[in-house]
């Protein structure tokens, strides 16, 4: 019995197939607006939105459609993308701009938030349970956008964030907002 087990263990690897991966690369030659990718998000139809240094490329599985400031983006350099609960897609930009692709109208809207973000790079966007949008920046902290009132609230160092360099946001299952910064909070 022991010999049979050893023989089985010896020959088993010959019959096990290794998992293989296949990669397809896309670039300007295949139709992208630019090839330095900064962000990815998938919409409700399955299209992939690709944020680059020179605009957006939307890939539908067969081809690309490109978008820039001429199409309504706040800026061309897209740093982050986020799909919200209404299936609108939000884009943060290098110089503090925020754009939203309205899923109902199929148009881009620049939210003109640069004065609030102090022209700092947008690093993360997420929606909380109340429908407010949290916008993180590198160097200007966090801003909370109320779309109903079209107003912005600033989260300051005095309110608990340890640094104005905020690199990511995550809303957990309990409704807590997790904030990634470059500094430990000191009490």
CATH, range 79-181 = 2.120.10.30
Closest CA to 128 of 118, 143, 150: 143
* pLDDT tens by residue, 130-164: 999 999 999 999 999 999 998 888 887 878 788 99
First to last CA, the chain: 66
Tell me the pLDDT tens digit for each residue of 60-82. Answer: 999 999 999 999 999 999 999 99
pLDDT of residue 14: 65
* Residue 101 phi, psi (nearest 5): -95, 115
pLDDT at 185: 59
What does the alpha-carbon distance between residue 109 and residue 103 come to, in Å, rounded to a whole number? 11
Domain ranges of the chain: 79-181
- 72 or 16, greater pLDDT: 72
State the pTM of this model. Answer: 0.84
Which two tokens mark 111? 């939210």
Average pLDDT value for residue range 87-97? 95
């Amino acid at each position: 019995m022991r010999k049979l087990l050893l023989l089985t263990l010896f020959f088993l690897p010959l019959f096990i197939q290794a998992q293989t991966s296949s990669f397809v690369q896309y670039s300007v030659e295949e139709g992208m607006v630019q090839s330095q990718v900064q962000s990815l998000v998938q919409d409700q139809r399955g299209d992939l939105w690709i944020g680059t240094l020179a605009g957006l490329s939307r890939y539908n599985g067969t081809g690309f459609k490109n978008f820039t400031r001429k199409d309504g983006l706040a800026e061309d350099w897209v740093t982050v993308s986020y799909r919200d609960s209404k299936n609108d897609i939000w884009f943060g930009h290098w110089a503090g701009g925020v754009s939203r692709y309205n899923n109902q109208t199929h148009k881009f809207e620049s939210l003109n938030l640069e004065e609030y973000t102090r022209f700092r790079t947008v690093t993360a966007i997420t929606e909380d349970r109340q429908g407010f949008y949290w916008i993180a920046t590198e160097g200007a902290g966090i801003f909370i956008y109320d779309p109903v009132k079209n107003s912005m609230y600033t989260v300051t160092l005095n309110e608990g964030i340890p640094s104005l360099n905020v690199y990511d946001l995550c809303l957990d299952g309990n409704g807590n907002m997790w904030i990634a910064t470059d500094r430990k909070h000191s009490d």
